[in-house]
A and B are shown apart, each in its own frame.
Chain A
């Protein structure tokens, strides 16, 4: 089954390759782009949250010291 990947006739798809491959390529590119965007945003927000929580902890410590 995999051997046919190395034949030109497989990629030609009976002459319809010019329609089939771009359809698959664009769809996969869109899905991969979406996934990368979601993962990058997730990473950025996680970083922001860590920083915000660290700042909050610092403020709480300072407030505790001022009360003493």
Chain B
């Protein structure tokens, strides 16, 4: 496993791939976690209190718009974590870095929970707004639901196959198949009329959709959710690396 690339003068140059070495990864994350964990907790608490207690400017949806503070970050995380799994799976398949497969494996339950949270909070937002908890004819809702099933399938595949190498490769291929639904869950509203609004935040025709009083706490919650994801992912990956070590020791024992 390449840990350093060589510069023109022959000296070793630090490379990002050295973190694919489990020992290096454990050392780095062991140093980062004590700092990032409290930061994630504080940011999440501040964001949630801001979302629930702040006086909001007049909005066509009234108080219901507060659901946006949890639904939009949850949906964004559900889709972006899948995108991260696609990249990790590709790196795992192409460069054969075992830590890449472990990253995808560790991210899957977190992404599944975020996707489920997005589906549930979306239903609670949709019921009073559209008059329907769910619409099986809506492309964006269905893409999000299928993406959630891909998460479950990915987790089930890892659990079903005993050999970690075969499991990682098959799960990576399944993950790549699901990429189309990650794309559709995010962009289908742009080219298909759906019950779900086209966009919650971005400007349409130069007109901003949300006031700064909504936008700023939403950004705080975006950052908080990324930090929470990072912490949970690092802990899960460290657990996976230790679990592999336990397995190796058991094999050595015979």
A contact residues vs B (CB 8 Å cutoff)? 1-2, 4-5, 13-14, 16, 19-20, 22-24, 26-27, 30-31, 33-35, 37-39, 41-42, 45-46, 48-49, 52-53, 55-56, 59
Task: Determine the main DSSP class of B at the interface with A.
Answer: helix
- What's the Cα separation between A34 and B110 when bound, in Å? 7
Query: Which residue of A has the minimal Cβ distance to B53?
Result: A1
0/1 interface trace, chain B 102-131, chain A, CB 8 Å (1 if under):
000000011001001100110011011000
Q: Which 6 A-B pairs have the closest CB atoms?
A: A23-B124, A52-B249, A13-B63, A23-B121, A27-B117, A14-B63
Q: 22 A-B pairs, CB-CB below 8 angstroms?
A: A13-B66, A16-B63, A19-B64, A19-B127, A27-B117, A30-B117, A31-B113, A33-B113, A34-B109, A35-B232, A37-B109, A38-B109, A38-B239, A39-B235, A42-B235, A42-B236, A52-B246, A52-B249, A52-B250, A55-B253, A56-B253, A59-B253
Residues of B within 8 A of A33 (CB): 113
CB of B10 within 8 Å of the partner chain: no
- What's the Cα separation between A2 and B33 when bound, in Å? 32
CB of B252 within 8 Å of the partner chain: yes
CB of B52 within 8 Å of the partner chain: yes
Residues of A within 8 A of B125 (CB): 19, 23
Q: How many A-B residue pairs have CB under 8 A?
A: 96
- What's the Cα separation between A52 and B242 when bound, in Å? 11
Residues facing A in B197-254 (CB within 8 A) are 228, 232, 235-236, 238-239, 242-243, 245-246, 249-250, 252-253
Q: How far is the CB of B23 from chain A (nearest CB, A)?
A: 14
CB of B70 within 8 Å of the partner chain: yes
CB of B42 within 8 Å of the partner chain: no
> Apart from A20-B64, A23-B70, what are 17 other A-B pairs with CB-CB below 8 Å?
A1-B53, A1-B54, A13-B63, A14-B62, A23-B71, A24-B70, A26-B124, A27-B70, A27-B74, A27-B121, A30-B117, A31-B228, A38-B239, A42-B235, A45-B239, A45-B246, A52-B253
Residues of B within 8 A of A5 (CB): 53
CB atoms of B52 and A24 under 8 A apart? yes
CB atoms of A42 and B246 under 8 A apart? no
Q: How far is the CB of A28 from chain B (nearest CB, A)?
A: 8
Q: How far is the CB of B74 from chain A (nearest CB, A)?
A: 6
- What's the Cα separation between A20 and B246 when bound, in Å? 45
- What's the Cα separation between A39 and B228 when bound, in Å? 13
Query: Which residue of A has the minimal Cβ distance to B117?
Result: A27
- What's the Cα separation between A27 and B71 when bound, in Å? 9
Residues of A within 8 A of B249 (CB): 49, 52-53, 55-56
Q: How far is the CB of B119 from chain A (nearest CB, A)?
A: 10
